[in-house]
Structure 1
Amino acid sequence: MAATASPLRVLELYSGVGGMHYALKESGVAAEVVAAVDVNTTANQIYRHNFPATPLWSKTIEGVTLDEFDMLECDVVLMSPPCQPFTRIGLQGDVSDNRAKSFLYILDLLPRLNKLPRFILLENVRGFETSSARDVLLTTLRDCGYGFQEFLLSPTSLGIPNSRLRYFLLAKSPPTSFSFPTSSEILERFPESSGPSQPCEVGSDGVTDTPSTENSRDGSVLFKMETAHELQRKRRQDGDETVMKIQDFLEVPEEEMERYLLPPKTLLRYAMLLDIVQPSSRRSVCFTKGYGHYVEGTGSVLQSCLDSELQDVFQSLDLQTEDEKLRRLTGLKLRYFTPREIANLMGFPDHFTFPDVVSVKQRYRVLGNSLNVHVVAQLIRLLVS
């Protein structure tokens, strides 16, 4: 009788709240996380709460020595380095940003390991693919004898109504062992053999989903500062029956509804900038770490009361008195998605929970820094198969 293969030894770098760990479990691959590393105290608190048996190293990546990496003898490295140096709406400091140093440290150590990991999966924001850090990464992988494939993927390609376009890289040794034909191009869909997938639509990262003040072709701007082109795109997304509805991810108790309603001050100041969705919608924009604190570009809000049409509420809203504006907007019962609902959209399982001591603001923040579990789970299957 053939011996059963030992589980793969996995190192989870920048472990956050455990998105990679949950993706690994969902993938069905026989594996064990032998160490997780992160310096964020809140994220580590949540990680320990959900994975008490996993060794969690609360330190910087640079604080892990070459000997410690060698000691782990890991087969797989999963990592999601800080995205701030590469995000298109940030300063784009790239390799000169201090937050990129830990990633460059990993790339420096990789060729010096006694045992190279067989598999590497990296996640980052769209924009990483044009960075100098990516150039260093690819050069290092080639020098170490890895084959690799790059992707730009959003959860919408798996039928999930949330845009979160992200860069992914799968690296494997030996380089010819991928189960699908690799390409030097960055793929924008899963390989056909991996299951249903759709190409990512322009704007699916949530950036161009943000309401704009640009004029449409005929020079008119519709309600809520949306151009005709933007409105048409959103209607097309809502009509895509291959994507689930938002209502499948909602679960706020009625008694907790009030705490998530947008306050009057926010409604009056930011109404024209909100991305509003309904339970029947099949779209929502990317939730960021500023959700619930900042408004513009941080995520969609939900229209809880459907008695009024959005078009009617926003018609000539800027011409109304402050009291009339507030009356109209309050009637929509616009609310934030709860942290649990965002976790649902991001693929975290029901048994993922937060310690009671972690505030709502902290929950939004760590989720905004995390990843979509379902997308990564499918990529892990591709990587290891």
Structure 2
Amino acid sequence: MVVLLLFYMDEWDLKTLYTCDAVRAFVRRRAMAPLRVLELYSGIGGLHCALRESGLSAVVVAAIDVNTVANAVYAHNFPATSLWAKNIEGLTAHDFDKLHLDMILMSPPCQPFSRTGLKADVADPRSKSFLRFLQILPRMEHKPAYVFLENVVGFESSVARRDFTRTLELCRYTFREFHLSPTTVGVPNSRLRYFLLALLRPRVFTFPASSQMLQTFPPSRDDRDLVESDRDPVAGVGHSSCCEMSNSKNCFDKPGHSEIAVFMEPQNDTALALEKQEPTGSETFNGPRSHSVALYKRETQLELERKRKQEDNSHVRPLLEFLDGGDRGRGIEGYKEENTQRYDGGESLLLPDKVLLRYGDILDIVRPDNRRSMCFTKAYVHYVEGTGSVLQMADNIQLQDVFEGIDHLPEETRMARLRSLRLRYFSPSEICRLHGFFPTFGFPNDVTHRQRYRLLGNSLNVHLVAKLLQLLLDHGEEPCSPSAEGTTAGEEKVT
């Protein structure tokens, strides 16, 4: 019957029929056309890696970044992808429309919103390109069905976020926001980040909105019995087309229903909750032993308890599984026999004596069998405090035995104690594994180790983003964005 109907339609009728979202979705599913994806602020390709790991059928039609070193790394790993070394401020809505996009992935510069930056927000020159994107999106004739954004915690309270969400609502998107860390997916690295997932209406999420940032993944579609509570900002009342498409009993967007706010209380993952506990930063070595006074190495009782609870979380994998030479099945002794504490180029990973002596009591020290590590920033190795953990390679030595009373010892004795720990930095390849980059991911030979640390510090966790991209597709009703057929030159299909 459908075949006969199509047979009697002329070309104009067919084009008109294809403008219907539901029909377009049906045609897409039948044709198995891959999603056409644009990466903004592509960096070294963390979003591309996450898209590949997600298992979604997708083609990256273009990646855009102005960092020449990051672009060299991206091109090294994704040579088939069209890489634009352009500033977004110079692009137009027409440039985006020519790509026939289904999805936009982005990780805008975080410095305007980070705790270590000036928090200049939209006044920061590095926000200009993002503000330009907010001008482009409403002017696009063919808006993407899916939008994904990653940034630092702090973005959620920024003017940039306010303007972004207002633009999404104006363009008829519904969205969800998360605070998540790699510990949520079992990775022993604290890297709490803000994420936003957006769907172009009439698509809707199959899990409800929240009064706060979501801090866990929603239940699977098989387990959920949830409702869609988004309000159509254009119509002013619940948008009915989603119900007409899905005919779901779990949709409140039906005629006659008033707007109902449905809130999901965040379910704090153990590791995520512990990660949010900040040290006091005011510890001293004098006074009685309490939660606010350091016991040794500026470690308070509260801080030690937080770390102990992190270690007890069996959901998180041990660091050993991510270390160079740390065969996943051999255990810690087999790993230590082969580890040489050196880069591929021969540069030592061991901490210099001057660093040990000056900063030893503020280092975050972990062992291969630990299930935690600090967030690695772009200043790792160059600076010490708060830039990432260091690894203790010595067996059977307790930190308390080394650091207790160390301030009262002669310098030579202090150095002997500190050297006994055999502390070293994590290598770039180890941080790559913690971030979830695939095994064959690499750097061009002319990219220095300092540059690699900086690039990785600006990157994201692939495993976490991959799961969020799956969520965006799996929990969004009826993806039905138009797409150009096939894959053309300069596009890399992700499968």
Which TM-score band applies after superposition, normalised by the shorter structure? Answer: over 0.9
State the Cα distance separating 1:305 from its structure 2 match: 1.1
Aligned to 1:65: 92
The alignment status of 1:259 with 2:332, answered yes or no, reads no
Match 1:370 to one of 459, 468, 481: 459
Cα deviation per residue 1:36-65 (whole Å; 9 max; x = unaligned)?
000011110100000000000012121223
CA distance in 1, matches of 2:164, 2:149: 10
Q: Is the 8 A contact 1:147 1:175 kept in 2?
A: no
The alignment status of 1:230 with 2:257, answered yes or no, reads no
Q: Based on CA coordinates, which of the two structures has the bigger radius of gyration?
A: 2
Cα deviation per residue 1:246-295 (whole Å; 9 max; x = unaligned)?
11100156345371000000000100110000011010010000001100
Q: Is the 8 A contact 1:15 1:36 kept in 2?
A: yes
Match 1:321 to one of 386, 403, 410: 410
**TM-score with structure 2 setting the length:** 0.74
Q: Residues 176, 182 of structure 1: CA spacing in aligned structure 2 closer, same or farther, 3 A cutoff? A: farther
Q: Which moved more, 1:145-154 or 1:255-264?
A: 255-264
Match 1:151 to one of 178, 182, 185: 178
The alignment status of 1:101 with 2:128, answered yes or no, reads yes
The alignment status of 1:198 with 2:269, answered yes or no, reads yes
The alignment status of 1:214 with 2:283, answered yes or no, reads yes
Q: Is the 8 A contact 1:268 1:326 kept in 2?
A: yes
CA distance in 2, matches of 1:17, 1:76: 19
Question: Unmatched 5+ residue regions in structure 1?
Answer: none
Q: Give 1:208's aligned amino acid.
A: E
Aligned to 1:286: 375
Match 1:356 to one of 429, 445, 457: 445
CA distance in 2, matches of 1:255, 1:199: 34
CA distance in 2, matches of 1:230, 1:175: 48
Aligned to 1:169: 196
Q: Which moved more, 1:176-185 or 1:344-353?
A: 176-185
CA distance in 2, matches of 1:64, 1:218: 54
Q: Which moved more, 1:243-252 or 1:34-43?
A: 243-252
Cα deviation per residue 1:151-174 (whole Å; 9 max; x = unaligned)?
000010111100000000000012
Higher RCO (CA-CA < 8 Å; seq separation 6+): 2
Q: Is the 8 A contact 2:406 2:414 kept in 1?
A: yes
DSSP 3-state at the match of 1:237: helix
* Equivalent runs, 1:69-88 vs 2, <5 Å: 69-88=96-115
State the Cα distance separating 1:212 from its structure 2 match: 3.1
State the Cα distance separating 1:321 from its structure 2 match: 1.1
Q: Give 2:360's aligned amino acid.
A: A
Match 1:249 to one of 319, 322, 334: 322
Query: In the comparison of the two structures, how many residue pairs are matched?
Result: 383
State the Cα distance separating 1:3 from its structure 2 match: 3.1
Q: Give 1:335's aligned amino acid.
A: R
Q: Which moved more, 1:191-200 or 1:317-326?
A: 191-200
DSSP 3-state at the match of 1:9: strand
Match 1:304 to one of 389, 393, 397: 393
CA distance in 2, matches of 1:238, 1:36: 39
Q: Which moved more, 1:250-259 or 1:18-27?
A: 250-259
State the Cα distance separating 1:187 from its structure 2 match: 0.2
Q: Which moved more, 1:348-357 or 1:115-124?
A: 348-357
DSSP 3-state at the match of 1:68: helix
CA distance in 2, matches of 1:55, 1:218: 54
Q: Is the 8 A contact 2:147 2:197 kept in 1?
A: yes
Question: Unmatched 5+ residue regions in structure 2?
Answer: 4-28, 224-266, 326-337, 475-495
DSSP 3-state at the match of 1:222: strand
Aligned to 2:138: 111
Q: Is the 8 A contact 2:183 2:272 kept in 1?
A: no
Q: Residues 6, 218 of structure 1: CA spacing in aligned structure 2 closer, same or farther, 3 A cutoff? A: closer
Cα deviation per residue 1:230-260 (whole Å; 9 max; x = unaligned)?
1110011011111100111001563453710
Aligned to 2:169: 142
CA distance in 1, matches of 2:443, 2:428: 9
CA distance in 1, matches of 2:46, 2:270: 23
Q: Is the 8 A contact 1:179 1:382 kept in 2?
A: no
Q: Residues 218, 87 of structure 1: CA spacing in aligned structure 2 closer, same or farther, 3 A cutoff? A: closer
Q: Give 2:311's aligned amino acid.
A: D
CA distance in 1, matches of 2:148, 2:283: 38
DSSP 3-state at the match of 2:117: coil
Q: Is the 8 A contact 1:180 1:193 kept in 2?
A: no
Q: Give 1:336's aligned amino acid.
A: Y
Q: Residues 272, 116 of structure 1: CA spacing in aligned structure 2 closer, same or farther, 3 A cutoff? A: same
Q: Residues 219, 30 of structure 1: CA spacing in aligned structure 2 closer, same or farther, 3 A cutoff? A: closer
Q: Is the 8 A contact 1:189 1:200 kept in 2?
A: no
CA distance in 1, matches of 2:131, 2:38: 17
The alignment status of 1:272 with 2:367, answered yes or no, reads no
DSSP 3-state at the match of 1:116: coil
Q: Residues 33, 199 of structure 1: CA spacing in aligned structure 2 closer, same or farther, 3 A cutoff? A: farther
Q: Give 1:254's aligned amino acid.
A: N
Cα deviation per residue 1:195-234 (whole Å; 9 max; x = unaligned)?
99935534626x836x833367465311111111011100
Q: Is the 8 A contact 2:274 2:310 kept in 1?
A: no
State the Cα distance separating 1:79 from its structure 2 match: 0.1
Q: Is the 8 A contact 2:291 2:300 kept in 1?
A: no
Q: Is the 8 A contact 1:85 1:91 kept in 2?
A: yes
Q: Is the 8 A contact 2:184 2:272 kept in 1?
A: no
DSSP 3-state at the match of 2:113: coil
Cα deviation per residue 1:166-186 (whole Å; 9 max; x = unaligned)?
000000012552233333431
State the Cα distance separating 1:307 from its structure 2 match: 3.4
Q: Residues 139, 108 of structure 1: CA spacing in aligned structure 2 closer, same or farther, 3 A cutoff? A: same
DSSP 3-state at the match of 2:307: helix
Cα deviation per residue 1:291-322 (whole Å; 9 max; x = unaligned)?
01100000000001123211100011111111
